[in-house]
């Protein structure tokens, strides 16, 4: 997953948290400014958590695709299992 996708996911979760907290606070009797502050802090917290965990767990290693590949041309096992069926 690219860093841009992780940032988009964090922004989406942050906006969702803001909307949920702000609208829910106003509906439960809070003042608008208090609801906006609560929603903003919720967006920062939940967006930051998603951004941190997603970048920690979903980012691929740069060498992961070539780490296990055998790059030698004189490999005796090269092409051995091409005609076998599962």
pLDDT, one tens digit for every residue, the chain (86 residues): 788 888 999 999 999 999 999 999 999 999 999 999 999 999 999 999 999 999 888 876 665 555 556 566 666 666 666 666 65
Burial class (CB in 10 A: 0-12, 13-18, 19+), 36: middle
* Look-up of token digits 């989406």: 12
4: closest CA among 79, 58, 75, 83? 58
Domain ranges of the chain: 3-59
- On whether the pTM is more than 0.75, the answer is no
Token pair in block for residue 70:
């055998």
Tokens at 9, concatenated: 């996911």
């Amino acid at each position: 997953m690219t860093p841009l996708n992780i940032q988009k996911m964090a922004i989406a979760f942050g906006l969702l948290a803001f909307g949920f907290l702000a609208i829910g606070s106003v509906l439960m009797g809070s003042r608008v400014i208090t609801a906006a502050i609560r929603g903003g802090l919720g967006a920062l917290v939940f967006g930051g958590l998603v951004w941190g965990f997603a970048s920690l767990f979903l980012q691929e290693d740069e060498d992961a695709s070539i780490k296990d590949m055998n790059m030698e041309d004189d490999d005796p096992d090269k092409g051995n299992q091409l005609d076998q069926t599962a």
